Amino acid sequence: MSRLLFFLYSWLVFVPLMAATTLVCGLLCLALVPFLPADRVARYTAVPWAKLCLLYSGVRVDVYGRHHLEPGQSYVVVANHLSQFDIFVLYGYLGMDFRWVMKHELRKVPIIGICCEKLGHIFINRSDQQAAIASLNAARARLNNGASVLFFPEGTRSRNGQLKPFKKGAFKMAQDLQLPVLPVTLNGTFEILPPGTIRLQPGHQASLTLHAPLPVRGHDEAELLKLMTLSHEAIAAPLAEPLPQALA
């Protein structure tokens, strides 16, 4: 019975509330972009949007490791990707100014796509290598005043909740810019909205773990592979620790 009630709540309450919040925050974002820096616009619009959507869906987020962040430092952030809810958790609780590297298809999503473009997020066309390289090159110019860039180095969502092998792009950018790599683990979002379904699961807990930044030394292939390995190991560790299945 409880699952039936939550299913009805999802479609009769959560979806309309999320749509309305997206519309209001999106329009506010577009109105503020000409007058304020992107990081402030995101703080006033995207962060509340993400936290409200999590609130509507009954998700609590615990954050660990925020002490690893150095104020004013730019990072190449690498995070695992389990669910569409990763977007809400990262935007709502990462607590830093960042530019997202996302697939170019998301530019077509109503409201969200144009807001992401105006906020300086980076759209990558994975089927066109030259266009992807050009997009990443343009992204480098946006990493100033402590702004960071965020990658999902697996390239796409995990379909089974297991951490997939990493692609090299994020770590190559870290080498090129000599920026530390910040591994971040998302946990619990897979259970909230598993891939391939539109059925929300009630009352789950999620966590966001920021690991110690990895310094970048040199530009050679061995250093790149080392960064990939250490990041993968750091992100994988909390995934072995089970979260409570539901909040009391």
Let me know the angle formed at the C-alpha of 226 by 141 and 239, rounded to the nearest 5 degrees: 90
pLDDT at res. 196? 64
Q: Tell me, yes or no, whether 96 lies in a domain.
A: yes
Q: Phi and psi at residue 107, in whole multiples of 5°?
A: -65, -25
How many domains does one find in the chain?
A: 1
CATH assignment of the domain containing 142 = 3.40.1130.10
Q: Tell me, yes or no, whether 46 lies in a domain.
A: no
Q: Tell me, yes or no, whether 246 lies in a domain.
A: no
Q: How far is CA 54 from the centre of its chain?
A: 14
Q: Tell me, yes or no, whether 104 lies in a domain.
A: yes
Q: Tell me, yes or no, whether 18 lies in a domain.
A: no
How does pLDDT run along the chain (248 residues), one tens digit per residue? 566 666 677 777 778 898 999 999 999 999 999 999 989 999 999 999 999 999 988 888 999 999 999 988 999 999 999 888 899 999 999 999 998 888 878 888 888 889 988 888 888 776 655 655 666 666 666 666 678 999 999 888 777 778 999 999 889 989 988 899 999 999 988 877 766 666 666 557 889 999 999 999 888 899 999 999 999 999 999 887 765 444 33
* Strand (E) or helix (H) holding 210: strand 205-210
pLDDT at res. 248? 30
pLDDT at res. 45? 95
Q: Tell me, yes or no, whether 14 lies in a domain.
A: no
Beta pairing class for 76-79 and 181-187: parallel
Q: Tell me, yes or no, whether 28 lies in a domain.
A: no
Residue 153, domain extent: 60-239
Alpha carbon of 5 to those of 12, 13, 195: distances in Å?
Answer: 10, 11, 22
Residue 182, C-beta contacts closer than 8 angstroms, at least 6 positions apart: 68, 69, 75, 76, 77, 78, 148, 210, 211, 213, 214
Whole-model pTM: value is: 0.88
Tokens of 23: 């519309």
Q: Tell me, yes or no, whether 12 lies in a domain.
A: no
Residue 147 in contact with residue 73, Cβ under 8 Å?
no
